[in-house]
Chains A and B, each alone.
Chain A
Amino acid sequence: MTAHDDALMPLDDSDELLLAAIAAAQADQDPLPAGLLGRVRFALSLELMNAELAALQTASPAGARGVDPAVTDTLTFTASGLSLMVVLSEADGGVRVDGWVTGGGVRVEARSADAVDVQVSDATGRLTWPVVPHGPLRFLIHPPRPGQRPVVTPAIEV
């Protein structure tokens, strides 16, 4: 026997049962936090894409809601080479997002919990997502020119 063969000896049945009970209790009493796996995967994809994380620059003053009751929020994200402004409003089955990005022909992904919706800006930089589901949402802006880094926004709750 080598020195660590004892680690390979069969457990007796009751040890197996007790370990199985510990596994069940652990899953029940100290589970992974909801969304942890998704947050780890997101952090890793940022790392792999060498993406820049945009800053959330401004939120509309609360008074803006009084102007148009359908508009819930205006947010601006800025990165070193571009910015993205989004206006969120209630829509059937979710949220409508109207966006303006620096430049035309820019591919922007709206990433919700389980879907990715890609839109391309028109010549004036405008793009629209007619409906995105409620919940966490972030945007991934593909590099407009080769050699630039992709830009990812922090997640917002819509």
Chain B
Amino acid sequence: MTSAESLASRAAEAFVAFRDGDPARLADLVTLLTPPLWAVARSSGLNPAQAEDVIQSSWLALVRASSSISEPQAVFAWLLTTTRREAWRVARVPPEVELPEAAVARGPTPEDVAESDDLNRRLWTHVRALSPRCQTLLRVIAYSSRPDYATISAALGMPVGSIGPTRGRCLSTLRRALANDPAWSPA
């Protein structure tokens, strides 16, 4: 577990440099953390325009609050939490209700499958059929490294310690769907 691998540590470093007077490091921070924020907003059910608005407001909120953030290591969590709450508000998910893991969205339609002419698109069809909670978790950790997992679970409103088992269940669900997809797993 080296700090160089951790998104939270890299973010903390850029944030401190920005706050110490180097505005270019804020641009680095935006480049580093916007992709996982996009994943959170989109997997909460927002369309691209809504997701962009939510992400803009999260970043503006961070800059406005920057002098009051006492723990730079928490900047990643702060942005994830702010983005998730705002995305849920826009998507009208009740704020303190956890996204149900079990309520699986629709499966891929035959049209989806017919259109799946490459592996990325086919895999994505199955990811999109997962519960919103699984989608958010897998999409965010796909950008992150293991040292970030505790941060991510807290920021996504998952009980500390649940991220490992939750991730495992989400990946198994996805793996089962892929195993049943003849185009993904030819007999």
Q: How large is the interface on A (under 10, 10 to 19, 20 to 34, 35 or more residues)?
A: 20 to 34
On whether A7 and B123 interact (CB within 8 A), knowing A22-B138, A43-B56, the answer reads no
Contact B161 A41 (CB under 8 A): no
Q: Among A4, A15, A18, A41, which residue has its beta carbon within 8 angstroms of that of B153?
A: A4
* Complex partner residue of B124 from A6, A7, A8, A26, CB under 8 angstroms: A26
Q: Is B93 an interface residue (CB 8 A)?
A: no
Question: In A1-60, which residues have CB < 8 Å from any B CB?
Answer: 3-4, 6-11, 15, 18-26, 28-30, 32-33, 36-37, 39-41, 43-45, 47-48
Instruction: Tell me if B120 and A43 are in contact (CB < 8 A).
Output: no
CB neighbours (8 Å) of B42 from chain A are 30
Q: B30: which of A24, A28, A41, A48 is its contact (CB, 8 Å)?
A: A41
Residues of A near B34 (CB, < 8 A) are 32, 36-37, 40
Dominant SS among interface residues on chain A: helix
Residue from B30, B31, B143 within 8 A of A23 (CB atoms): B143
Cα–Cα distance between A105 and B127 once the two chains are bound (Å): 57
Question: What's the tally of chain B residues with a CB closer than 8 Å to chain A?
Answer: 45
- Asked whether, in the complex, the Cβ of A7 is within 8 Å of the Cβ of B161, the reply is yes
Cβ B30 vs Cβ A37 within 8 A: yes
Candidates A8, A26, A40; contact of B59 at CB < 8 Å: A40
**Given A4-B150, A6-B161, A40-B59, residue A30 in contact with residue B35 (CB < 8 A):** no
CB distance from A2 to the nearest CB of B (A): 9
Alpha-carbon separation in the docked complex, A23 to B175 (Å):
15
Residues of B within 8 A of A33 (CB): 48, 52
Write the nearest CB–CB distance from A43 to chain B, whole angstroms.
5
Do B127 and A22 have beta carbons less than 8 Å apart? yes
Mask of B47-70 contacts with A, CB within 8 angstroms, 1/0: 010001001100110011000000
Q: How many Å lie between the Cα of A8 and that of B31 in the bound state?
A: 26
Check A29–B164 contact: CB distance below 8 A.
no
Separation of A48 and B30 alpha carbons in the complex (Å): 14
Q: How far is the CA of A3 from the CA of B56 in the complex (A)?
A: 35
Known interface pairs A4-B150, A18-B175, A48-B23; A39-B52 also in contact (CB < 8 Å): yes
Task: For the complex formed, measure the closest distance between the CB of A29 and the CB atoms of chain B, giving whole angstroms.
Answer: 4
A154 to chain B, nearest CB (A): 15
Q: Which residues of A are found within 8 Å of B15, using beta-carbon distances?
A: none
Is B139 a contact of A40 with CB atoms below 8 Å? no
Are B141 and A44 in contact, with the CB atoms below 8 A? no
In the bound assembly, the distance between CA atoms of A91 and B46 in angstroms comes to: 42
B183 in the interface, Cβ–Cβ < 8 Å?
A: no
A76 to B: closest C-beta gap in Å: 27
Judged by a CB distance under 8 angstroms, whether B76 is at the interface is: no
CB distance from B161 to the nearest CB of A (A): 4
Cβ-defined contact, A44 with B48, below 8 A: no
Q: Which of B7-37 contact A (CB under 8 A)?
A: 23, 26-27, 30-31, 34-35
Within 8 Å CB of B163, what residues of A? Answer: 4, 6-7
10 tightest A-B CB contacts, nearest first: A6-B164, A29-B124, A7-B149, A23-B142, A28-B120, A3-B161, A25-B120, A25-B123, A25-B124, A22-B142
8 residue pairs from A and B, CB less than 8 Å apart: A8-B146, A11-B146, A21-B119, A21-B123, A22-B127, A25-B124, A32-B35, A32-B38
